[in-house]
A and B are shown apart, each in its own frame.
Chain A
Amino acid sequence: MVGLAGWGGAQGDPVTAAAAPRDAARRRMADRVMTGLTAASTLVALVPLASVLLYVVVQGAGALNWDFFTQLPKPVGESGGGLANAIVGSLTLIALASCVGVPIGILGGLYLAELGDGPLGWWIRFTTDVLNGVPSIVVGVFVYTLMVVPMKRFSALAGGVALGIIMIPLVMRTTEELVRLVPASLREASLALGIPWWITAMRVALRTAAVGILTGVMLAVARIGGETAPLLFTAFNNQYWQTRLDQPIASLTVQLYNYAIAPYDDWHRQAWAAALVLMAMTLTLNMTARLVGGRRTGARP
Protein backbone atom coordinates (compact mmCIF):
# COMPACT_ATOMS: atom_id res chain seq x y z
CA MET A 1 0.00 0.00 0.00
CA VAL A 2 2.80 2.36 0.92
CA GLY A 3 4.47 1.60 -2.35
CA LEU A 4 1.26 2.28 -4.23
CA ALA A 5 0.78 5.64 -2.51
CA GLY A 6 4.38 6.52 -3.25
CA TRP A 7 3.84 5.73 -6.94
CA GLY A 8 1.09 8.24 -7.08
CA GLY A 9 3.62 10.89 -6.11
CA ALA A 10 1.93 11.44 -2.78
CA GLN A 11 4.87 10.57 -0.59
CA GLY A 12 5.26 12.93 2.32
CA ASP A 13 1.72 14.24 1.97
CA PRO A 14 -0.04 12.81 5.05
CA VAL A 15 -3.59 13.53 3.85
CA THR A 16 -3.28 11.82 0.48
CA ALA A 17 -1.15 9.05 1.86
CA ALA A 18 -3.85 8.23 4.37
CA ALA A 19 -6.69 8.50 1.84
CA ALA A 20 -5.04 6.39 -0.87
CA PRO A 21 -5.45 2.94 0.71
CA ARG A 22 -9.10 3.61 1.43
CA ASP A 23 -9.65 4.80 -2.16
CA ALA A 24 -7.95 1.74 -3.48
CA ALA A 25 -10.04 -0.49 -1.27
CA ARG A 26 -13.22 1.17 -2.48
CA ARG A 27 -12.16 0.82 -6.09
CA ARG A 28 -11.42 -2.85 -5.61
CA MET A 29 -14.78 -3.26 -3.95
CA ALA A 30 -16.60 -1.57 -6.83
CA ASP A 31 -14.62 -3.66 -9.26
CA ARG A 32 -15.63 -6.89 -7.53
CA VAL A 33 -19.28 -5.91 -7.25
CA MET A 34 -19.50 -5.01 -10.93
CA THR A 35 -17.68 -8.16 -12.03
CA GLY A 36 -20.04 -10.18 -9.86
CA LEU A 37 -23.13 -8.43 -11.28
CA THR A 38 -22.13 -8.91 -14.91
CA ALA A 39 -21.19 -12.54 -14.29
CA ALA A 40 -24.53 -13.14 -12.55
CA SER A 41 -26.45 -11.56 -15.44
CA THR A 42 -24.64 -13.76 -17.93
CA LEU A 43 -25.48 -16.76 -15.79
CA VAL A 44 -29.15 -15.78 -15.57
CA ALA A 45 -29.22 -15.49 -19.35
CA LEU A 46 -27.48 -18.81 -19.86
CA VAL A 47 -29.48 -20.90 -17.39
CA PRO A 48 -32.78 -20.92 -19.34
CA LEU A 49 -30.91 -21.52 -22.61
CA ALA A 50 -28.94 -24.41 -21.17
CA SER A 51 -31.98 -25.92 -19.47
CA VAL A 52 -34.08 -25.70 -22.63
CA LEU A 53 -31.31 -27.31 -24.66
CA LEU A 54 -30.74 -29.99 -22.07
CA TYR A 55 -34.43 -30.74 -21.57
CA VAL A 56 -35.10 -30.99 -25.31
CA VAL A 57 -32.10 -33.28 -25.76
CA VAL A 58 -33.13 -35.51 -22.84
CA GLN A 59 -36.78 -35.71 -23.89
CA GLY A 60 -36.14 -35.83 -27.62
CA ALA A 61 -33.28 -38.32 -27.72
CA GLY A 62 -35.51 -41.00 -26.18
CA ALA A 63 -38.14 -40.61 -28.90
CA LEU A 64 -35.65 -40.37 -31.74
CA ASN A 65 -35.19 -43.50 -33.79
CA TRP A 66 -34.78 -44.61 -37.39
CA ASP A 67 -38.56 -44.69 -37.89
CA PHE A 68 -38.78 -41.01 -37.03
CA PHE A 69 -36.79 -40.14 -40.14
CA THR A 70 -38.34 -42.71 -42.48
CA GLN A 71 -41.99 -43.31 -41.51
CA LEU A 72 -45.15 -41.32 -42.00
CA PRO A 73 -47.17 -40.31 -38.95
CA LYS A 74 -49.37 -43.11 -37.64
CA PRO A 75 -53.07 -42.52 -36.94
CA VAL A 76 -54.17 -41.94 -33.36
CA GLY A 77 -54.05 -45.12 -31.34
CA GLU A 78 -51.27 -46.77 -33.28
CA SER A 79 -47.88 -46.23 -31.76
CA GLY A 80 -44.65 -45.65 -33.67
CA GLY A 81 -44.43 -43.91 -37.01
CA GLY A 82 -42.32 -40.90 -37.81
CA LEU A 83 -42.21 -37.45 -39.33
CA ALA A 84 -40.37 -38.14 -42.56
CA ASN A 85 -42.90 -36.14 -44.55
CA ALA A 86 -42.54 -33.16 -42.21
CA ILE A 87 -38.76 -33.19 -42.47
CA VAL A 88 -38.93 -33.24 -46.27
CA GLY A 89 -41.74 -30.67 -46.12
CA SER A 90 -39.66 -28.29 -44.01
CA LEU A 91 -36.76 -28.61 -46.41
CA THR A 92 -39.10 -28.01 -49.36
CA LEU A 93 -40.50 -24.89 -47.71
CA ILE A 94 -37.00 -23.59 -46.95
CA ALA A 95 -35.98 -24.18 -50.57
CA LEU A 96 -39.08 -22.38 -51.86
CA ALA A 97 -38.53 -19.52 -49.42
CA SER A 98 -34.92 -19.21 -50.54
CA CYS A 99 -36.07 -18.96 -54.17
CA VAL A 100 -38.09 -15.90 -53.14
CA GLY A 101 -35.97 -14.39 -50.40
CA VAL A 102 -32.40 -14.86 -51.62
CA PRO A 103 -32.53 -13.29 -55.11
CA ILE A 104 -34.79 -10.42 -54.07
CA GLY A 105 -32.81 -9.87 -50.89
CA ILE A 106 -29.40 -9.92 -52.57
CA LEU A 107 -30.37 -7.80 -55.57
CA GLY A 108 -32.26 -5.36 -53.33
CA GLY A 109 -29.29 -5.14 -50.99
CA LEU A 110 -26.98 -4.55 -53.94
CA TYR A 111 -29.27 -1.75 -55.12
CA LEU A 112 -29.28 -0.14 -51.68
CA ALA A 113 -25.50 -0.34 -51.42
CA GLU A 114 -24.74 0.90 -54.93
CA LEU A 115 -27.55 3.33 -55.69
CA GLY A 116 -29.47 3.69 -52.46
CA ASP A 117 -28.17 7.06 -51.30
CA GLY A 118 -31.16 9.02 -52.58
CA PRO A 119 -34.62 9.44 -51.02
CA LEU A 120 -35.85 6.25 -52.71
CA GLY A 121 -33.09 4.30 -51.00
CA TRP A 122 -34.07 5.85 -47.68
CA TRP A 123 -37.67 4.75 -48.12
CA ILE A 124 -36.70 1.23 -49.16
CA ARG A 125 -34.42 0.96 -46.14
CA PHE A 126 -37.17 2.25 -43.87
CA THR A 127 -39.79 -0.16 -45.28
CA THR A 128 -37.37 -3.04 -45.01
CA ASP A 129 -36.80 -2.26 -41.35
CA VAL A 130 -40.55 -2.11 -40.79
CA LEU A 131 -41.00 -5.42 -42.62
CA ASN A 132 -38.31 -6.91 -40.42
CA GLY A 133 -40.30 -5.88 -37.37
CA VAL A 134 -43.66 -7.20 -38.61
CA PRO A 135 -44.78 -10.20 -36.53
CA SER A 136 -44.42 -13.31 -38.66
CA ILE A 137 -48.06 -14.27 -38.15
CA VAL A 138 -49.08 -11.05 -39.90
CA VAL A 139 -46.98 -12.11 -42.89
CA GLY A 140 -48.89 -15.42 -42.76
CA VAL A 141 -52.25 -13.67 -42.84
CA PHE A 142 -51.02 -11.43 -45.67
CA VAL A 143 -50.02 -14.39 -47.83
CA TYR A 144 -53.31 -16.09 -46.88
CA THR A 145 -55.23 -13.24 -48.54
CA LEU A 146 -52.72 -12.94 -51.35
CA MET A 147 -52.45 -16.59 -52.37
CA VAL A 148 -54.52 -19.02 -50.32
CA VAL A 149 -57.85 -17.27 -50.86
CA PRO A 150 -57.50 -16.87 -54.67
CA MET A 151 -56.09 -20.41 -55.06
CA LYS A 152 -58.82 -21.74 -52.76
CA ARG A 153 -56.38 -24.06 -51.01
CA PHE A 154 -53.43 -24.09 -48.66
CA SER A 155 -50.21 -24.85 -50.48
CA ALA A 156 -46.48 -25.34 -50.13
CA LEU A 157 -46.07 -22.40 -52.51
CA ALA A 158 -47.93 -20.07 -50.20
CA GLY A 159 -45.86 -21.30 -47.26
CA GLY A 160 -42.66 -20.73 -49.22
CA VAL A 161 -43.70 -17.22 -50.19
CA ALA A 162 -44.58 -16.35 -46.58
CA LEU A 163 -41.20 -17.56 -45.32
CA GLY A 164 -39.49 -15.89 -48.28
CA ILE A 165 -41.04 -12.53 -47.36
CA ILE A 166 -39.63 -12.93 -43.87
CA MET A 167 -36.21 -13.67 -45.38
CA ILE A 168 -36.10 -10.64 -47.67
CA PRO A 169 -35.26 -7.92 -45.13
CA LEU A 170 -32.73 -10.13 -43.37
CA VAL A 171 -30.82 -10.95 -46.55
CA MET A 172 -31.22 -7.43 -47.93
CA ARG A 173 -29.68 -5.59 -45.01
CA THR A 174 -26.83 -8.09 -44.65
CA THR A 175 -26.06 -7.77 -48.35
CA GLU A 176 -26.18 -3.99 -48.22
CA GLU A 177 -23.84 -3.80 -45.25
CA LEU A 178 -21.34 -6.24 -46.72
CA VAL A 179 -21.33 -4.73 -50.20
CA ARG A 180 -20.75 -1.31 -48.62
CA LEU A 181 -17.71 -2.76 -46.88
CA VAL A 182 -16.08 -3.57 -50.24
CA PRO A 183 -13.41 -0.87 -50.66
CA ALA A 184 -14.24 1.86 -53.19
CA SER A 185 -10.76 1.38 -54.63
CA LEU A 186 -11.75 -2.06 -55.94
CA ARG A 187 -14.81 -0.62 -57.66
CA GLU A 188 -12.70 2.15 -59.18
CA ALA A 189 -10.10 -0.34 -60.36
CA SER A 190 -12.83 -2.28 -62.12
CA LEU A 191 -14.48 0.79 -63.66
CA ALA A 192 -11.08 2.04 -64.83
CA LEU A 193 -10.72 -1.15 -66.84
CA GLY A 194 -13.74 -0.09 -68.86
CA ILE A 195 -16.03 -2.54 -67.11
CA PRO A 196 -19.62 -1.25 -66.99
CA TRP A 197 -20.90 -0.40 -63.52
CA TRP A 198 -23.48 -3.17 -63.30
CA ILE A 199 -20.92 -5.85 -64.13
CA THR A 200 -18.63 -4.19 -61.60
CA ALA A 201 -21.43 -4.36 -59.05
CA MET A 202 -22.21 -8.02 -59.74
CA ARG A 203 -18.79 -9.48 -60.42
CA VAL A 204 -16.54 -7.37 -58.24
CA ALA A 205 -18.55 -5.83 -55.40
CA LEU A 206 -21.00 -8.69 -54.88
CA ARG A 207 -18.36 -11.36 -55.52
CA THR A 208 -15.99 -9.83 -52.98
CA ALA A 209 -18.77 -9.76 -50.39
CA ALA A 210 -20.05 -13.24 -51.32
CA VAL A 211 -18.75 -15.17 -48.33
CA GLY A 212 -20.30 -12.75 -45.88
CA ILE A 213 -23.57 -12.74 -47.80
CA LEU A 214 -23.62 -16.55 -47.72
CA THR A 215 -23.29 -16.37 -43.94
CA GLY A 216 -26.20 -13.94 -43.83
CA VAL A 217 -28.34 -16.21 -46.01
CA MET A 218 -27.63 -19.18 -43.77
CA LEU A 219 -28.59 -17.24 -40.67
CA ALA A 220 -31.79 -16.13 -42.42
CA VAL A 221 -32.57 -19.77 -43.30
CA ALA A 222 -31.95 -20.76 -39.68
CA ARG A 223 -34.38 -18.07 -38.64
CA ILE A 224 -37.22 -19.09 -40.98
CA GLY A 225 -36.63 -22.78 -40.29
CA GLY A 226 -38.09 -22.23 -36.86
CA GLU A 227 -41.17 -20.25 -37.97
CA THR A 228 -44.56 -21.79 -37.24
CA ALA A 229 -47.10 -18.99 -37.24
CA PRO A 230 -46.90 -17.96 -40.93
CA LEU A 231 -47.26 -21.61 -41.98
CA LEU A 232 -50.54 -22.14 -40.11
CA PHE A 233 -52.35 -19.98 -42.67
CA THR A 234 -50.37 -20.94 -45.74
CA ALA A 235 -48.75 -24.37 -45.94
CA PHE A 236 -51.18 -25.71 -43.33
CA ASN A 237 -50.15 -29.30 -42.67
CA ASN A 238 -50.36 -32.74 -44.15
CA GLN A 239 -50.20 -36.24 -42.65
CA TYR A 240 -49.01 -37.78 -45.91
CA TRP A 241 -46.36 -37.37 -48.57
CA GLN A 242 -47.02 -34.48 -50.89
CA THR A 243 -45.06 -33.85 -54.04
CA ARG A 244 -47.32 -31.21 -55.56
CA LEU A 245 -46.38 -27.70 -54.55
CA ASP A 246 -49.95 -26.40 -54.89
CA GLN A 247 -51.10 -28.73 -52.12
CA PRO A 248 -50.80 -28.40 -48.34
CA ILE A 249 -47.49 -29.66 -47.03
CA ALA A 250 -46.25 -30.82 -43.66
CA SER A 251 -43.54 -29.03 -41.74
CA LEU A 252 -41.64 -29.90 -38.60
CA THR A 253 -42.76 -26.79 -36.79
CA VAL A 254 -46.49 -27.09 -37.47
CA GLN A 255 -46.39 -30.83 -36.81
CA LEU A 256 -44.57 -30.13 -33.56
CA TYR A 257 -47.23 -27.62 -32.61
CA ASN A 258 -50.09 -30.02 -33.42
CA TYR A 259 -48.47 -32.92 -31.58
CA ALA A 260 -47.56 -30.83 -28.57
CA ILE A 261 -51.13 -29.66 -27.96
CA ALA A 262 -52.62 -33.14 -28.57
CA PRO A 263 -53.54 -35.29 -25.58
CA TYR A 264 -51.56 -38.40 -26.57
CA ASP A 265 -48.29 -39.39 -24.91
CA ASP A 266 -46.97 -40.96 -28.07
CA TRP A 267 -47.47 -37.70 -29.97
CA HIS A 268 -45.81 -35.76 -27.18
CA ARG A 269 -42.72 -37.90 -27.58
CA GLN A 270 -42.75 -37.32 -31.32
CA ALA A 271 -43.04 -33.58 -30.67
CA TRP A 272 -39.94 -33.69 -28.47
CA ALA A 273 -38.08 -35.53 -31.16
CA ALA A 274 -39.20 -32.94 -33.74
CA ALA A 275 -37.99 -30.17 -31.43
CA LEU A 276 -34.62 -31.86 -31.13
CA VAL A 277 -34.28 -32.24 -34.90
CA LEU A 278 -35.24 -28.59 -35.46
CA MET A 279 -32.76 -27.44 -32.86
CA ALA A 280 -30.01 -29.53 -34.36
CA MET A 281 -30.79 -28.10 -37.81
CA THR A 282 -30.65 -24.53 -36.58
CA LEU A 283 -27.50 -25.17 -34.60
CA THR A 284 -25.78 -26.80 -37.57
CA LEU A 285 -26.73 -23.91 -39.85
CA ASN A 286 -25.51 -21.33 -37.35
CA MET A 287 -22.25 -23.13 -36.77
CA THR A 288 -21.64 -23.58 -40.50
CA ALA A 289 -22.44 -19.93 -41.13
CA ARG A 290 -19.97 -18.91 -38.47
CA LEU A 291 -17.30 -21.26 -39.79
CA VAL A 292 -17.78 -20.02 -43.35
CA GLY A 293 -17.85 -16.40 -42.20
CA GLY A 294 -14.74 -16.96 -40.12
CA ARG A 295 -12.47 -17.51 -43.09
CA ARG A 296 -13.19 -14.40 -45.10
CA THR A 297 -9.75 -14.22 -46.61
CA GLY A 298 -10.08 -17.37 -48.67
CA ALA A 299 -9.69 -16.74 -52.40
CA ARG A 300 -10.53 -19.03 -55.27
CA PRO A 301 -7.41 -21.07 -56.10
Chain B
Amino acid sequence: MDLISTVRSRAFAGALERSGPVGEATPERIRAVELHAYFGRTHAVRGVSLGVQTNRITAIIGPSGCGKSTVLRCLNRMHELVPGARMEGRVLLDNEDIYAREVDPVMIRRRVGMVFQRATPFPTMSIYDNVAAGLRLNGVRDRRTLDEVVEHSLRQAALWDEVKDVLGRPGTSLSGGQQQRLCIARALAVQPEVLLMDEPASALDPASTLKIEGLARILRDHLTIVLVTHNMQQAARASDYTAFMLGGEVVEFGPTADLFTRPRDPRTEDYITGRFG
Protein backbone atom coordinates (compact mmCIF):
# COMPACT_ATOMS: atom_id res chain seq x y z
CA MET B 1 0.00 0.00 0.00
CA ASP B 2 1.51 3.28 -0.92
CA LEU B 3 1.96 6.21 1.39
CA ILE B 4 -0.40 8.51 -0.45
CA SER B 5 -3.43 6.34 -0.15
CA THR B 6 -2.76 5.59 3.53
CA VAL B 7 -2.63 9.24 4.45
CA ARG B 8 -5.58 10.00 2.26
CA SER B 9 -7.76 7.33 3.72
CA ARG B 10 -6.99 8.25 7.33
CA ALA B 11 -7.44 11.93 6.71
CA PHE B 12 -10.56 11.27 4.72
CA ALA B 13 -12.12 9.18 7.45
CA GLY B 14 -11.27 11.77 10.09
CA ALA B 15 -12.46 14.66 8.03
CA LEU B 16 -15.74 13.12 7.02
CA GLU B 17 -16.47 11.90 10.50
CA ARG B 18 -15.86 15.14 12.29
CA SER B 19 -16.28 18.09 10.03
CA GLY B 20 -20.07 18.08 10.04
CA PRO B 21 -22.26 19.38 7.26
CA VAL B 22 -19.67 20.89 4.99
CA GLY B 23 -22.01 21.73 2.19
CA GLU B 24 -24.19 23.83 4.44
CA ALA B 25 -23.24 27.39 3.79
CA THR B 26 -23.11 29.78 6.72
CA PRO B 27 -22.77 33.55 6.49
CA GLU B 28 -19.30 34.85 5.94
CA ARG B 29 -17.76 36.35 9.07
CA ILE B 30 -14.36 37.46 7.81
CA ARG B 31 -13.13 38.17 4.34
CA ALA B 32 -9.53 39.00 3.56
CA VAL B 33 -9.01 40.69 0.21
CA GLU B 34 -5.62 40.82 -1.49
CA LEU B 35 -3.74 40.80 1.79
CA HIS B 36 -0.06 41.70 1.66
CA ALA B 37 2.02 41.80 4.82
CA TYR B 38 5.59 42.92 5.29
CA PHE B 39 8.21 42.79 8.02
CA GLY B 40 10.54 45.60 7.04
CA ARG B 41 11.59 44.55 3.53
CA THR B 42 10.43 40.96 3.86
CA HIS B 43 7.27 40.33 1.90
CA ALA B 44 5.74 37.67 4.15
CA VAL B 45 2.19 37.48 2.81
CA ARG B 46 1.67 37.92 -0.94
CA GLY B 47 -1.89 38.60 -1.94
CA VAL B 48 -3.99 36.33 0.21
CA SER B 49 -7.76 36.33 -0.26
CA LEU B 50 -9.77 34.17 2.07
CA GLY B 51 -13.36 33.86 3.34
CA VAL B 52 -14.08 32.59 6.84
CA GLN B 53 -17.56 31.25 7.52
CA THR B 54 -19.50 31.77 10.72
CA ASN B 55 -19.63 28.85 13.18
CA ARG B 56 -17.05 26.94 11.21
CA ILE B 57 -13.44 26.08 11.88
CA THR B 58 -11.14 27.26 9.16
CA ALA B 59 -7.64 25.84 9.32
CA ILE B 60 -4.59 27.39 7.70
CA ILE B 61 -1.83 24.86 7.15
CA GLY B 62 1.57 25.08 5.58
CA PRO B 63 5.26 24.72 6.37
CA SER B 64 7.05 27.00 8.82
CA GLY B 65 7.56 30.50 7.48
CA CYS B 66 4.80 30.27 4.89
CA GLY B 67 3.05 33.31 6.38
CA LYS B 68 0.11 31.51 7.99
CA SER B 69 0.58 33.09 11.41
CA THR B 70 1.03 36.49 9.82
CA VAL B 71 -2.27 36.14 7.96
CA LEU B 72 -3.89 35.24 11.26
CA ARG B 73 -2.39 38.25 13.01
CA CYS B 74 -3.68 40.51 10.25
CA LEU B 75 -7.22 39.40 11.09
CA ASN B 76 -7.25 41.14 14.49
CA ARG B 77 -4.69 43.84 13.84
CA MET B 78 -1.96 42.22 15.91
CA HIS B 79 0.43 42.27 12.96
CA GLU B 80 0.87 46.03 13.16
CA LEU B 81 2.23 45.74 16.72
CA VAL B 82 5.49 44.26 15.47
CA PRO B 83 8.03 47.06 14.92
CA GLY B 84 8.60 47.57 11.20
CA ALA B 85 5.55 45.58 10.19
CA ARG B 86 2.93 46.86 7.75
CA MET B 87 0.18 45.48 5.59
CA GLU B 88 -1.85 46.23 2.48
CA GLY B 89 -5.22 45.01 1.36
CA ARG B 90 -8.50 44.79 3.20
CA VAL B 91 -9.92 42.64 5.95
CA LEU B 92 -13.69 42.73 6.32
CA LEU B 93 -15.28 41.70 9.58
CA ASP B 94 -19.04 41.48 9.12
CA ASN B 95 -18.56 43.46 5.93
CA GLU B 96 -16.76 46.31 7.68
CA ASP B 97 -13.14 47.08 6.90
CA ILE B 98 -11.22 46.67 10.15
CA TYR B 99 -8.38 48.74 8.72
CA ALA B 100 -10.61 51.73 8.00
CA ARG B 101 -9.27 54.94 9.47
CA GLU B 102 -11.96 55.44 12.10
CA VAL B 103 -11.72 51.89 13.45
CA ASP B 104 -10.08 51.44 16.85
CA PRO B 105 -7.86 48.32 16.83
CA VAL B 106 -8.67 47.78 20.51
CA MET B 107 -12.34 47.25 19.63
CA ILE B 108 -11.41 44.84 16.83
CA ARG B 109 -9.29 42.77 19.21
CA ARG B 110 -12.18 42.58 21.63
CA ARG B 111 -14.34 41.10 18.87
CA VAL B 112 -11.61 38.89 17.45
CA GLY B 113 -9.86 37.07 20.26
CA MET B 114 -6.61 35.17 20.01
CA VAL B 115 -4.91 32.15 21.57
CA PHE B 116 -1.18 31.81 21.10
CA GLN B 117 1.22 28.95 20.57
CA ARG B 118 2.66 29.24 24.06
CA ALA B 119 0.25 29.46 26.96
CA THR B 120 0.69 32.92 28.44
CA PRO B 121 -1.20 33.20 31.72
CA PHE B 122 -0.40 36.48 33.46
CA PRO B 123 2.15 35.36 36.07
CA THR B 124 1.06 37.87 38.71
CA MET B 125 -2.58 36.82 38.57
CA SER B 126 -4.58 33.93 40.01
CA ILE B 127 -6.61 31.58 37.82
CA TYR B 128 -9.70 33.68 38.54
CA ASP B 129 -7.94 36.97 37.85
CA ASN B 130 -6.53 35.64 34.59
CA VAL B 131 -9.99 34.83 33.26
CA ALA B 132 -11.41 38.08 34.62
CA ALA B 133 -8.52 40.15 33.27
CA GLY B 134 -10.12 41.06 29.95
CA LEU B 135 -13.25 42.38 31.65
CA ARG B 136 -11.55 43.94 34.66
CA LEU B 137 -8.94 45.83 32.71
CA ASN B 138 -11.76 47.12 30.54
CA GLY B 139 -13.51 48.52 33.58
CA VAL B 140 -15.97 45.83 34.71
CA ARG B 141 -16.06 45.90 38.53
CA ASP B 142 -19.26 44.10 39.52
CA ARG B 143 -18.28 40.99 41.45
CA ARG B 144 -21.38 38.98 40.50
CA THR B 145 -20.91 39.61 36.78
CA LEU B 146 -17.26 38.66 37.06
CA ASP B 147 -18.04 35.47 39.00
CA GLU B 148 -20.57 34.43 36.39
CA VAL B 149 -18.35 35.18 33.43
CA VAL B 150 -15.36 33.41 35.00
CA GLU B 151 -17.36 30.26 35.69
CA HIS B 152 -19.03 30.30 32.28
CA SER B 153 -15.75 30.83 30.44
CA LEU B 154 -13.94 28.14 32.40
CA ARG B 155 -16.81 25.73 31.72
CA GLN B 156 -16.67 26.58 28.01
CA ALA B 157 -12.95 25.90 28.08
CA ALA B 158 -13.57 22.54 29.82
CA LEU B 159 -11.42 23.60 32.73
CA TRP B 160 -14.00 24.44 35.41
CA ASP B 161 -14.11 21.02 37.07
CA GLU B 162 -10.35 20.91 37.36
CA VAL B 163 -9.86 24.36 38.87
CA LYS B 164 -13.11 25.34 40.61
CA ASP B 165 -11.60 24.70 44.06
CA VAL B 166 -8.29 26.42 43.39
CA LEU B 167 -9.36 29.60 41.62
CA GLY B 168 -7.08 31.61 43.92
CA ARG B 169 -3.92 29.77 42.90
CA PRO B 170 -1.53 31.35 40.42
CA GLY B 171 -2.39 30.65 36.78
CA THR B 172 1.18 29.53 36.25
CA SER B 173 0.71 26.68 38.74
CA LEU B 174 -1.38 24.71 36.22
CA SER B 175 -0.02 22.13 33.79
CA GLY B 176 0.81 23.15 30.21
CA GLY B 177 -2.45 21.85 28.76
CA GLN B 178 -4.48 23.44 31.55
CA GLN B 179 -2.66 26.74 31.07
CA GLN B 180 -3.59 26.71 27.39
CA ARG B 181 -7.23 26.05 28.26
CA LEU B 182 -6.99 28.85 30.83
CA CYS B 183 -5.86 31.14 28.02
CA ILE B 184 -8.80 29.99 25.92
CA ALA B 185 -11.14 30.75 28.84
CA ARG B 186 -9.48 34.16 29.20
CA ALA B 187 -10.06 34.87 25.51
CA LEU B 188 -13.68 33.66 25.72
CA ALA B 189 -14.44 35.84 28.73
CA VAL B 190 -14.64 38.99 26.61
CA GLN B 191 -17.12 37.16 24.37
CA PRO B 192 -15.44 37.50 21.01
CA GLU B 193 -17.22 36.69 17.74
CA VAL B 194 -14.12 35.12 16.28
CA LEU B 195 -11.34 33.15 17.96
CA LEU B 196 -7.96 32.99 16.27
CA MET B 197 -5.84 30.05 17.37
CA ASP B 198 -2.17 30.24 16.48
CA GLU B 199 -0.83 26.69 16.74
CA PRO B 200 -2.60 26.32 20.08
CA ALA B 201 -1.48 22.75 20.66
CA SER B 202 2.00 22.63 19.20
CA ALA B 203 3.62 22.82 22.64
CA LEU B 204 1.31 20.21 24.18
CA ASP B 205 1.30 16.45 24.54
CA PRO B 206 -1.09 14.35 22.38
CA ALA B 207 -3.76 14.01 25.09
CA SER B 208 -3.89 17.76 25.72
CA THR B 209 -3.85 18.34 21.98
CA LEU B 210 -6.96 16.22 21.53
CA LYS B 211 -8.65 18.10 24.36
CA ILE B 212 -7.98 21.44 22.69
CA GLU B 213 -9.24 20.10 19.36
CA GLY B 214 -12.38 18.70 20.95
CA LEU B 215 -12.88 22.03 22.63
CA ALA B 216 -12.63 23.83 19.30
CA ARG B 217 -15.31 21.53 17.88
CA ILE B 218 -17.66 22.45 20.71
CA LEU B 219 -16.87 26.16 20.65
CA ARG B 220 -17.65 26.21 16.94
CA ASP B 221 -21.33 26.39 17.80
CA HIS B 222 -20.87 29.76 19.47
CA LEU B 223 -18.20 31.43 17.48
CA THR B 224 -16.07 31.35 14.40
CA ILE B 225 -12.62 29.82 14.66
CA VAL B 226 -9.54 30.25 12.54
CA LEU B 227 -6.90 27.69 13.40
CA VAL B 228 -3.31 27.93 12.27
CA THR B 229 -1.39 24.69 12.47
CA HIS B 230 1.56 23.00 10.85
CA ASN B 231 0.12 19.67 11.88
CA MET B 232 -2.09 18.53 9.02
CA GLN B 233 -3.63 15.67 10.97
CA GLN B 234 -4.89 18.34 13.30
CA ALA B 235 -6.37 20.30 10.43
CA ALA B 236 -7.96 17.13 9.04
CA ARG B 237 -9.35 16.17 12.43
CA ALA B 238 -10.57 19.51 13.62
CA SER B 239 -11.46 21.82 10.75
CA ASP B 240 -14.29 22.34 8.29
CA TYR B 241 -12.31 24.32 5.77
CA THR B 242 -8.63 24.28 5.11
CA ALA B 243 -6.35 26.71 3.35
CA PHE B 244 -2.92 25.49 2.32
CA MET B 245 -0.29 28.22 2.21
CA LEU B 246 3.15 28.17 0.68
CA GLY B 247 5.58 31.04 0.28
CA GLY B 248 3.11 33.66 1.43
CA GLU B 249 0.34 32.60 -0.95
CA VAL B 250 -2.75 30.46 -0.58
CA VAL B 251 -2.19 27.50 -2.87
CA GLU B 252 -5.53 25.89 -2.27
CA PHE B 253 -8.59 26.59 -0.16
CA GLY B 254 -11.68 24.47 0.24
CA PRO B 255 -13.63 22.09 2.42
CA THR B 256 -11.22 20.08 4.53
CA ALA B 257 -12.41 16.73 3.23
CA ASP B 258 -11.89 17.83 -0.38
CA LEU B 259 -8.47 19.32 0.23
CA PHE B 260 -7.17 16.21 1.94
CA THR B 261 -8.72 13.70 -0.44
CA ARG B 262 -8.84 15.42 -3.80
CA PRO B 263 -6.16 18.11 -3.76
CA ARG B 264 -6.34 20.09 -6.98
CA ASP B 265 -2.81 21.43 -6.79
CA PRO B 266 0.20 19.09 -6.96
CA ARG B 267 1.95 21.18 -4.28
CA THR B 268 -0.90 20.54 -1.86
CA GLU B 269 -0.69 16.87 -2.60
CA ASP B 270 3.07 16.86 -2.00
CA TYR B 271 2.59 18.58 1.35
CA ILE B 272 -0.26 16.49 2.70
CA THR B 273 1.40 13.27 1.68
CA GLY B 274 4.52 14.31 3.54
CA ARG B 275 6.86 14.73 0.58
CA PHE B 276 8.08 17.98 2.09
CA GLY B 277 7.42 20.38 4.92
Chain A residues with CB under 8 Å of chain B are: 117, 183, 185-186, 188-196, 199-200, 203-204, 207-208, 210, 297, 299-301
Docked pose: A199 CA to B169 CA in angstroms: 23
For A193, list chain B residues within 8 Å (CB): 109-110, 113, 133-134, 137, 186-187, 190
Contact (Cβ within 8 A) B106 A194: yes
Contact (Cβ within 8 A) A188 B138: no
Contact (Cβ within 8 A) A301 B83: no
Docked pose: A186 CA to B81 CA in angstroms: 13
Name B194-222 residues within 8 Å CB distance of A: none
- Closest Cβ of chain A to B227, distance in Å, is 15
For A301, list chain B residues within 8 Å (CB): 126, 168-170
Contact (Cβ within 8 A) A195 B113: no
For A186, list chain B residues within 8 Å (CB): 120, 122-123
Across the interface, B126 reaches (CB within 8 A) one of A190, A196, A203, A300, namely A300
A selection of 6 A-B contacts at a CB cut-off of 8 Å is A185-B116, A186-B123, A192-B109, A193-B113, A207-B122, A297-B123
Q: In terms of DSSP, what is the predominant structure of the interface of chain A?
A: helix
B124 within 8 A of A: yes
Contact with A along B161-185 (1 / 0, CB 8 A): 0000000111111000000000100
Whether A194 contacts B109 in the complex (CB less than 8 A), given A208-B124, A299-B126, A299-B172, comes out as: yes
Whether A195 contacts B187 in the complex (CB less than 8 A), given A190-B122, A208-B124, comes out as: no
Contact (Cβ within 8 A) A194 B120: no
Contact (Cβ within 8 A) A194 B134: yes
Contact (Cβ within 8 A) B137 A203: yes
Closest 8 pairs (CB-CB, A-B): A194-B110, A299-B170, A193-B134, A192-B114, A189-B120, A194-B109, A195-B137, A185-B120
Contact (Cβ within 8 A) A189 B183: yes
Chain B interface size range: 35 or more
For B173, list chain A residues within 8 Å (CB): 299
Please give me the residue from chain A that is nearest to B130 by CB atom: A189
Across the interface, A208 reaches (CB within 8 A) one of B122, B183, B187, namely B122
- Closest Cβ of chain A to B192, distance in Å, is 8
Task: For the A-B complex with A188-B120, A191-B78 known, give 8 more contacts whose Cβ atoms are closer than 8 Å.
Answer: A190-B122, A193-B109, A195-B106, A196-B106, A208-B123, A299-B124, A300-B129, A301-B170
Contact (Cβ within 8 A) A191 B109: yes
Looking at A183, A185, A192, A194, which has the most chain B CB atoms within 10 Å of its CB? A192
For B76, list chain A residues within 8 Å (CB): 192
Please give me the residue from chain A that is nearest to B113 by CB atom: A192
Contact (Cβ within 8 A) B107 A194: yes
For B120, list chain A residues within 8 Å (CB): 183, 185-186, 188-189
Please give me the residue from chain A that is nearest to B172 by CB atom: A299
Please give me the residue from chain B that is nearest to A187 by CB atom: B81
B118 within 8 A of A: yes
B48 within 8 A of A: no
Please give me the residue from chain A that is nearest to B136 by CB atom: A203
Docked pose: A183 CA to B78 CA in angstroms: 16
Contact (Cβ within 8 A) B138 A192: no
For A210, list chain B residues within 8 Å (CB): 124
Contact (Cβ within 8 A) B170 A195: no
For A300, list chain B residues within 8 Å (CB): 124-126, 129, 170
Docked pose: A295 CA to B171 CA in angstroms: 17
For B81, list chain A residues within 8 Å (CB): 188, 191
Contact (Cβ within 8 A) A194 B138: yes
